[in-house]
């Protein structure tokens, strides 16, 4: 017998007309029950305490409290309820503040049915996951979330590390969109954010970073797939599994290179591909990510300072006795109008530029601001097609280096 879960929704909206329109749209969504409509933050808190809704649609500008600040007060009453902020303020900093404070989504007053349906269902899934975690027996034995653990997978998963020695070259964006491009019916993909101090992978996916790599450290020497499953976040829109960076910069010191190496090696048993996002600073974590990568996508741009940094990295790579066969040099934000061509970059770095990703500031900025990767928003755009081509290059390179024996800096054994 299939278990049908109904979603209880609360509307907290001062404007009666907006509230009425939201109610009309909610009535069109399957298995949704509107438990109350209120016009203030205090009324919302009272209703949440009484009705325990799964989802709350909260206006940003309630008369007695900022809708984002309401999230903190709400959490003290009910940790299950997921908040969707409703506002016509599309300022990036406002949206970012809402997501970082724990909102599951950010929608406008004139939201379409499709947009609201996706937002509510996503918030409902998050609420359901919280219920299962708080009481795993409440819904029977069939509530376990599907993970990337393969049945009958041939061999271990491959690790693809994305790195640039120059900050701000688009590493995180490439990591996420490349991971989406590597997904198919046969392949499962995880993204590991090893930028331990300021990792932003959840922001790029409009995801809430409820758990992070920090949650694995107490059990790092006893890792198994079940422990990892409890910490990994499944991003339903993209199909990716995420291992997030620590929530605060000062926690980064609790994770060392050996920890990261052990975690990545365990994840090989669970996923076809593990894409690792890195910071530009060559830290212990970054070295571990580079060491673990079967293929490293080295990102640079046409800026002289970025090319100089890439050359310094190539020299360091040689000094570590690492094989350059593992490196895929990628030129991001490529502009044909600039004098420095891919051929010239290849000549300077003494390593062929394998692929280019065209400059598309508007699409890349929109993807980052709204947390919708361009590979999801428009697969036919030139920037998306270039990442698809990069994914093919990665697959080809992985096949070429598969049998290569290599020196390792870090041990995967705790």
Residue 132 has pLDDT above 50, yes or no: yes
Sign of CA dihedral 178, 184, 186, 189: positive
User: What confidence category does residue 150 fall into, taking pLDDT thresholds of 50, 70 and 90?
Assistant: very low
pLDDT of residue 134: 66
The answer to whether the beta carbons of residues 62 and 83 sit under 8 Å apart is no
Top-confidence range, 125-129, 206-210, 247-251: 247-251
The answer to whether the beta carbons of residues 60 and 150 sit under 8 Å apart is no
d(CA 228, CA 213) in angstroms, rounded, equals: 9
Angle between helices 92-101 and 67-77 (to 10 degrees): 0
Lowest mean pLDDT among 25-29, 120-124, 388-392: 120-124
Fold observed for domain 158-401:
Rossmann fold (3.40.50)
pLDDT of residue 126: 76
- Per-residue pLDDT reduced to its tens digit, 43-92: 999 999 999 999 999 999 999 998 889 998 988 888 889 999 999 886 76
- Stated pTM of the model: 0.64
Lowest mean pLDDT among 67-76, 137-146, 238-247: 137-146
- Per-residue pLDDT reduced to its tens digit, 327-383: 999 999 999 999 899 999 999 999 999 999 999 988 888 888 888 899 888 888 999
User: What confidence category does residue 143 fall into, taking pLDDT thresholds of 50, 70 and 90?
Assistant: very low
Compute the average pLDDT of residues 192-201: 92
Residue 125 has pLDDT above 80, yes or no: no
pLDDT of residue 142: 42
The answer to whether the beta carbons of residues 351 and 327 sit under 8 Å apart is yes
- Per-residue pLDDT reduced to its tens digit, 201-219: 988 988 877 789 999 999 8
Helix H or strand E segment including 180 = helix 171-182
Lowest mean pLDDT among 141-150, 228-237, 349-358: 141-150
Lowest mean pLDDT among 108-112, 117-121, 217-221, 393-397: 117-121
User: What confidence category does residue 136 fall into, taking pLDDT thresholds of 50, 70 and 90?
Assistant: low
d(CA 247, CA 199) in angstroms, rounded, equals: 8
Give the residue, 24 or 126, on which the prediction is more confident. 24
Top-confidence range, 96-105, 135-144, 228-237, 273-282: 273-282
- Per-residue pLDDT reduced to its tens digit, 281-296: 888 899 999 999 999 9
Helix H or strand E segment including 85 = strand 82-86
User: What confidence category does residue 149 fall into, taking pLDDT thresholds of 50, 70 and 90?
Assistant: very low
Give the residue, 19 or 130, on which the prediction is more confident. 19
Residue 302 has pLDDT above 90, yes or no: yes
Give the residue, 238 or 176, on which the prediction is more confident. 176
Residue 37 has pLDDT above 60, yes or no: yes
CA torsion 41-47-53-56 (nearest 10°) is -20
pLDDT of residue 148: 40
What is the CA angle 303-307-313, rounded to 5? 150
Q: Are strands 82-86 and 55-59 parallel, antiparallel or unpaired?
A: parallel
So where are the chain's domains? 7-134, 158-401
pLDDT of residue 6: 83
The arrangement of secondary structure in 7-134, i.e. its CATH architecture, is 3-Layer(aba) Sandwich (3.40)
Give the residue, 146 or 300, on which the prediction is more confident. 300
pLDDT of residue 321: 82
Query: What is the side-by-side strand order in the sheet with 82-86?
Result: 32-38, 7-12, 55-59, 82-86, 105-107
Sign of CA dihedral 391, 252, 310, 306: positive
pLDDT of residue 173: 95
User: What confidence category does residue 41 fall into, taking pLDDT thresholds of 50, 70 and 90?
Assistant: very high
Residue 263 has pLDDT above 60, yes or no: yes
């Amino acid at each position: 017998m299939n278990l049908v879960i109904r979603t209880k929704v609360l509307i907290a909206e001062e404007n009666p007309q907006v509230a009425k329109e939201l109610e009309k749209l909610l009535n069109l969504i399957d298995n949704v029950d509107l438990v109350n409509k209120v016009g203030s933050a205090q009324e919302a808190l009272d209703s949440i305490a009484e009705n325990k809704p799964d989802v709350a649609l909260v206006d940003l500008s309630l008369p007695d409290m900022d809708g984002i600040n309401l999230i903190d007060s709400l959490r003290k009453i009910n940790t299950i309820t997921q908040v969707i902020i409703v506002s016509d303020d599309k300022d990036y900093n406002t949206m970012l503040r809402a997501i970082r404070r724990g909102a599951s989504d950010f929608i406008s007053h004139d939201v379409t049915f499709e947009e609201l349906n996706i937002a509510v269902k996503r918030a409902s899934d998050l609420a359901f996951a919280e219920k299962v975690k708080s009481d795993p027996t409440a819904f029977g034995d069939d509530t376990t979330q599907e993970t990337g653990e393969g049945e009958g997978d041939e061999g271990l998963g491959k690790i693809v590390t994305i790195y640039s020695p120059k900050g701000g070259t688009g590493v995180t964006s490439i990591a996420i969109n490349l991971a989406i491009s590597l997904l198919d019916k046969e392949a499962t993909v995880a993204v590991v954010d090893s930028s331990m101090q300021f990792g932003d992978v959840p922001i790029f996916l409009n995801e809430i970073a409820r758990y992070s790599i920090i949650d694995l450290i107490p059990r790092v020497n006893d890792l198994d797939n079940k422990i990892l499953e409890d910490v990994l976040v499944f991003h339903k829109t993209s199909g990716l599994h995420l291992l997030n960076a620590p929530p605060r910069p000062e926690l980064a010191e609790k994770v060392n290179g050996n920890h990261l190496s052990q975690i990545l090696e365990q994840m090989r048993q669970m996923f076809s591909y593990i894409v690792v996002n890195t910071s530009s600073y060559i830290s212990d974590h970054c070295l571990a990510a580079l060491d673990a990568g079967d293929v490293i996508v080295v990102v640079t741009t046409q800026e002289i300072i970025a090319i100089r940094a890439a050359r310094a990295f190539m020299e360091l790579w040689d000094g570590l006795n690492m094989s350059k066969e593992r490196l895929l040099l990628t030129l991001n934000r490529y502009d044909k109008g600039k004098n420095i061509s891919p051929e010239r970059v290849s000549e300077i770095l003494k390593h062929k530029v394998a692929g280019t990703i065209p400059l598309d500031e508007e699409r890349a900025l929109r993807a980052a601001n709204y947390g919708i990767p361009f590979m999801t928003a428009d697969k036919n755009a030139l920037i998306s097609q270039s990442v698809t081509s990069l994914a093919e290059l990665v697959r080809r390179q992985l096949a070429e280096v598969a049998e290569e024996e290599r020196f390792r800096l870090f041990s995967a054994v705790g």
